[in-house]
Amino acid sequence: MLYRILLAGILFCAYSTVAKSDFRVCNDTPSLVGVALGYSVDSKWKTEGWWQIPGETCASLLEGSLSSRFYYIYAEDADRGGQWRGDIFMCTANQEFEIEGEKDCFERGYQKTGFFEIDTGNRDSWMVRLTEGGQSSFGQ
């Protein structure tokens, strides 16, 4: 297998420090990580990628108060080949992309990729930490 699949565990806990409202992903590994994000906008699904997040850094994928309860993430370790994935399938592309809709990926020239779900509980801000053992999530 080209990629080893990293087991994912989601830890929901309160994030008590004051922060600006946004959706952040922190890469807690030493490797460069490529991240794709899926979410609903006006009842239509959208996927975007690739955010390149260097090791031991964070990036805001969406700025401002969050407008959805559920967000979906897929990430790849560009240096060592690991993945953070799930069983919610959405469309991605090899190069930078912004795709509307999650159906008929192959027919539209895209890949069908498994994302993992983040339930923000309708909070204004959220952070996901990608670690070598999986991921954890923090909301405010």
Q: What is the C-alpha to C-alpha distance for residues 45 and 60, in angstroms, rounded to an integer? A: 20
Within-domain flag for 15? no
Count of the separate structural domains present in the chain: 1
Q: pLDDT by residue (tens digit) across 26-47?
A: 999 999 999 999 999 888 999 9
Q: Decide if 139 is inside a domain.
A: no
What is the span of the domain harbouring residue 49?
Answer: 25-132
Percent of the chain with pLDDT over 70: 81
Rounded CA separation 95/36 (Å): 11
Q: 132 CB contacts (<8 Å, ≥6 apart)? A: 6, 28, 29, 82
pTM (2 d.p.) = 0.81
What three-state secondary structure class fits 14?
strand
Query: Is residue 64 assigned to a domain?
Result: yes
For 135, the enclosing helix (H) or strand (E) is: strand 134-139
pLDDT given for residue 11 in this prediction = 28
